[in-house]
Chain A
Amino acid sequence: MSVSRRKFLGWMGAAGMGAAAGRSALAAGNKHFEGHPGSFGVLHDVTRCVGCRSCEAACNEVNGLQAPDRPFTDLNVLAEKRRTTVKAYTVVNKYDVPGKASPLFAKTQCNHCLEPACASACFVRAFQKTGTGAVTYDHSVCVGCRYCLIACPFDIPTYEYNEALTPRVMKCTLCYPRISKGQLPGCVEACPMEALTFGKREDLIKIARERMREYPGRYVDHIYGETEMGGTSWMYISSVPFSQVGMREDLGVTPAPQLTSGALAAVPIVAGLWPVLLMGIYAISKRKETIFQQELDSIREAAQSQRKEDV
């Protein structure tokens, strides 16, 4: 899909308005949230990807990442399955699917969840779901607990384990600095096959459906990311079940924050009830002791008066 600069800037304006209007929803919450209105995303059409790694090269360049171990033109790296690393915010993997003459390729990067697990996990709010759709990370507050890496269902965030004093979490930002300036994300711009489509998330869903309608039998009838983990800004369509191109189909539709909201909701209840119950137990045991003491005293008294009488 082609996007004119003018149209794009229009969207940016809309996204900005949305961000301004919906500021309270920036952080992860436990209400149903359908994404910031007019926020952006990318649609990855797995059927179009040829595994040229142009996106990887562009990503490396625009983000100023470290040089790769092997050059981006070396397609032999596709022989093994890779994941994101501190040197690569995105990787393309090759999948040989039974019954298909040629292999399929799928690109992996941050999916920019509508309600991100990383943001929900972060105890310093270093992650933010911005109005543009990008999930950003602020290294200036990050403590480095790596709970975001534990939380991410897509295994995306990576960590600079070899930095002694200034380790950061590294992950795709949806090229937040670029899209804020009206540019396309590096990978989208670099893709020669138009396997990546940048646009408003609600439009992308319509485009995906349109392609499915236009080419009957070509796609699996599912947009990966439309509902997964409550929905993501980065979505996928494919000609084979998504598990065959390295994506998990067992994640469910529950947004990550809901997984812990129940446990967190118990906190004020425990904090409110426990002192009452514990002091109640204390009062009971105290009273028992008092009664015991009183009985002991009265027995002693009785014994004493008995002795007096005897005398």
Chain B
Amino acid sequence: MPAIAAEDAKRFFTLFNIVSATIIIVGIVITILRFTKGLGAVTHLSDDNPWGLWIGFDLLVGVALAAGGYVTSAAVYLFGMKKYHSAVRPAVLTGFLGYALVVLALNYDVGRPWRLPYPFIMQQGTTSVLFEVGACVALYLTVLFLEFVPAPLEWLGLKRVRQLVVKLTLALTVLGVLLSTLHQSSLGALFLLAPSKLHPLWYSPYLPVFFFVSSIVAGLSMVIFESTLSHRYFGHKMDATHLSEKESVTLGFGKAASLVLAGYFIIKIMGLAAGNNWHFLGTAYGYWFLLEVAGFIALPSFLYAVGVRNKDLALIKWTAAWTVIGIILNRLTVSLIAFNWQLPSPRRYFPHLMEIAISIFIVTLGIVVFRFIVTRMPILYEHPAYKDAK
């Protein structure tokens, strides 16, 4: 008996479990603080800096990095790239979890989270870009749920319902792309209202376009990045189809990312020219802008292209990770680093440790749930009873 208990304990107390459990406990403690003492007790938010890490990272980065869902399902179901089919389920799952966590994070950030449905049920503030964001995110979360739900239904053996939902695939994909176009771009459009606060190098009437195009980049790169991680940790769960398609997914998505990044680079330069902001390039913010455009847009576009030409999968994977970092930096720049750039430094924002802890807590929750699902449901392999799924 004791031997078995020790064995069980050993299986349970893995490094992953210990670390994630610690983070989750810390997260719960801060959650209690947040809802008993208010935002002031756990954040560095202020009247000058009403949006901090929870908007900059959890919302803006979260939504951008969850773009893999609509990008992949559009490629497979609308553009007819069936050879990437095995990438759809992991991408949709990541998208669904990503959006669910964004909404969870919003519950921490807004003052009275139980009123989040108010814009829809009480008074509609349709002049607000945030209204559009809220409506699209709420609808898209539903779409992602419906796109994801066949996997748990197969796991639970609910054939009938699954057939019904699968029939919706095409409509859901179209709706998903439509809603993603709208809210990915509106997250950028949120800042159109603050021309006097956002640095001119990032403020542009094209902000919505920048956000939308870069979300495609983020989606493509995340699919590559994540499939690398999944292969390392859940490789044993992948079936032959998934393993054989994996390489073509990396190459195909790498190629697409290279092209979209090239387009993104061009419109970023057009934005710079349209705003006639060249003179800012010599300032500290200018160097930051150049680093972003040269180092995180032009460079990965080139590296992706080289990787695809030489079939260098390792290079493509590293480039994907690099591009993801670039997207994170871009969203943080627009919302935090280049925002309030004219305020003196004592009035600027730097996140509180507890804000960072909550962000880590939310990401950890995502990983734990992802792990739970992937090890149980047919995500990385096709369920033997449902081979018909195209």
Residues of A with Cβ closer than 8 Å to B? Answer: 27-30, 83-85, 117, 119-126, 141-147, 149-151, 153, 155, 157-167, 248, 250-252, 256-257, 259-260, 262-264, 266-267, 270-271, 274-275, 278-279, 281-282, 285-286, 288-289
Say yes or no: B47 contacts A270, CB within 8 Å.
no
Residues of A within 8 A of B173 (CB): 278
Given known pairs A29-B127, A120-B193, A161-B40, the reply for A285 and B79 (CB within 8 Å) is yes
Say yes or no: B110 contacts A143, CB within 8 Å.
yes
Given known pairs A162-B41, A263-B189, A270-B181, the reply for A144 and B111 (CB within 8 Å) is yes
Say yes or no: B111 contacts A270, CB within 8 Å.
no
A288: contacting residue among B80, B112, B126, B196, CB under 8 A: B80
Say yes or no: A150 contacts B193, CB within 8 Å.
yes
List 16 interface pairs A-B (beta carbons < 8 Å), by A numbering: A123-B128, A125-B123, A145-B111, A147-B130, A147-B190, A149-B47, A150-B193, A153-B196, A159-B45, A159-B111, A160-B38, A162-B41, A259-B195, A260-B189, A263-B208, A274-B177
Residues of A within 8 A of B40 (CB): 161-162
Query: How many angstroms from the CA of A122 to the CA of B185 in the assembled complex?
Result: 18
Query: How many angstroms from the CA of A279 to the CA of B134 in the assembled complex?
Result: 26
Residues of A within 8 A of B177 (CB): 274, 278
B127: contacting residue among A28, A166, A270, A274, CB under 8 A: A28
Q: What 1/0 flags go to B251-269 for Cβ under 8 Å of A?
A: 0000000000000000000
Nearest-Cβ distance from residue B327 to partner chain A, whole angstroms: 21
A154 nearest in chain B by CB position: B196
B128: contacting residue among A122, A166, A167, CB under 8 A: A122
* Any A CB within 8 A of the CB of B74: yes
Q: What 1/0 flags go to B169-211 for Cβ under 8 Å of A?
A: 0100110011001100110011111111100000001001000
Query: What is the number of residues of chain B that contact chain A, defined by CB distance less than 8 Å?
Result: 60
B80 nearest in chain A by CB position: A285
Query: How many angstroms from the CA of A282 to the CA of B123 in the assembled complex?
Result: 38
Query: How many angstroms from the CA of A131 to the CA of B315 in the assembled complex?
Result: 63
Nearest-Cβ distance from residue A140 to partner chain B, whole angstroms: 9
Say yes or no: A162 contacts B38, CB within 8 Å.
yes
Nearest-Cβ distance from residue B120 to partner chain A, whole angstroms: 9
The interface residues of chain B, by DSSP majority, are classed as: helix
Say yes or no: A282 contacts B78, CB within 8 Å.
yes
* Any A CB within 8 A of the CB of B376: no
Given known pairs A274-B178, A278-B174, the reply for A121 and B128 (CB within 8 Å) is yes
B78: contacting residue among A119, A155, A264, A285, CB under 8 A: A285
Say yes or no: B118 contacts A124, CB within 8 Å.
yes
Nearest-Cβ distance from residue B93 to partner chain A, whole angstroms: 22
Say yes or no: A147 contacts B38, CB within 8 Å.
no
* Any A CB within 8 A of the CB of B43: yes
Say yes or no: B174 contacts A141, CB within 8 Å.
no
Say yes or no: B130 contacts A121, CB within 8 Å.
yes
Query: How many angstroms from the CA of A294 to the CA of B60 in the assembled complex?
Result: 46
Say yes or no: A147 contacts B128, CB within 8 Å.
yes
Say yes or no: A150 contacts B38, CB within 8 Å.
no
Query: How many angstroms from the CA of A123 to the CA of B106 in the assembled complex?
Result: 15
Query: How many angstroms from the CA of A129 to the CA of B123 in the assembled complex?
Result: 16
A86 nearest in chain B by CB position: B47
Query: How many angstroms from the CA of A158 to the CA of B197 in the assembled complex?
Result: 16
B48 nearest in chain A by CB position: A155
Say yes or no: A146 contacts B51, CB within 8 Å.
yes
B50: contacting residue among A150, A153, A282, CB under 8 A: A150
Residues of A within 8 A of B189 (CB): 260, 263-264
Given known pairs A142-B115, A161-B39, A278-B177, the reply for A155 and B125 (CB within 8 Å) is no
Of A28, A248, A250, A264, the most chain B CB neighbours within 10 A belong to A264
Residues of A within 8 A of B132 (CB): 264, 267
Closest 6 CB pairs of A and B: A144-B111, A285-B80, A161-B40, A146-B50, A149-B50, A263-B189
